[in-house]
A and B are shown apart, each in its own frame.
Chain A
């Protein structure tokens, strides 16, 4: 079974600065997907970014980018130019065969003004 580990329970960053959230996973599969989901205080889960394991190029979505290291089984999320609206819980997730998601425990990110 796949496991996902987020080792940073909480982080904080000043507005306009850059922050990196860590995620490691364990799997014996070769082809899979990785995701970062955001859960703001409203509780609504929102997809931030998605990475296909067979693609070497790191995914980017505006201010959000990932550093995908397949051999190290590492998948970190970098948020540039942090905004107050980025304050949320961030979950790293592994996409299993059958479209099931395995989530990490989450990292609470607080953006300070």
Chain B
């Protein structure tokens, strides 16, 4: 099992460019998440998908869109990248969609994105 995979691992964009970060999991999990990690701020939730066919905003959704393509895949799109979106992006999945908050989340290796 590969677990959670993310592509690309690194990306440099110019301001205004668009790109899509891909995430896939092979654990048959129902729930998937996108976080960004910035120095001194921990990880912050951008969007999540509790189950296939549903997506919801997290703490910092502005400037991003997501697509839950199927049960395995959850993509994150930056339509017009800004320097403030320079960050490390993590995708995660959990068994879900249990609502109690106790599921372990399994994380991908992250994508380091730089916006110039």
Number of interface residues of A (CB under 8 A): 28
> Within 8 Å of chain A (Cβ to Cβ): is B71?
no
Apart from A95-B100, A104-B42, 15 more pairs, CB < 8 Å: A31-B100, A43-B109, A45-B92, A45-B105, A50-B102, A91-B42, A97-B99, A98-B50, A98-B56, A99-B50, A99-B101, A99-B103, A100-B58, A105-B42, A106-B42
- How long is the Cα–Cα vector from A102 to B102 in the complex, in angstroms? 12
Give the 5 A-B residue pairs with the shortest CB-CB distance, closest first. A95-B101, A103-B42, A45-B107, A33-B102, A103-B43
A44 and B104 within 8 A (CB): no
> Within 8 Å of chain B (Cβ to Cβ): is A101?
yes
> Within 8 Å of chain B (Cβ to Cβ): is A16?
no
Q: Which residues of B contact A (CB under 8 A)?
A: 31, 33, 35, 40-45, 48, 50, 56, 58-59, 88, 90, 92, 94, 96-105, 107, 109-110
Q: Could you name 25 residue pairs across A and B whose Cβ atoms are closer than 8 Å?
A: A33-B102, A43-B88, A43-B110, A44-B109, A45-B92, A50-B102, A91-B42, A91-B43, A95-B103, A98-B48, A98-B99, A99-B48, A99-B98, A99-B99, A100-B33, A100-B48, A101-B45, A101-B105, A102-B59, A103-B35, A103-B43, A103-B44, A104-B42, A105-B42, A106-B42
Contacts of B103 in A (CB 8 A): 95, 99
> Within 8 Å of chain B (Cβ to Cβ): is A52?
yes
Q: Which residues of A contact B (CB under 8 A)?
A: 4, 6, 9, 31-33, 35, 42-47, 50, 52, 91, 95-106
Q: A84 to chain B: closest CB distance in Å?
A: 22
Q: A54 to chain B: closest CB distance in Å?
A: 10
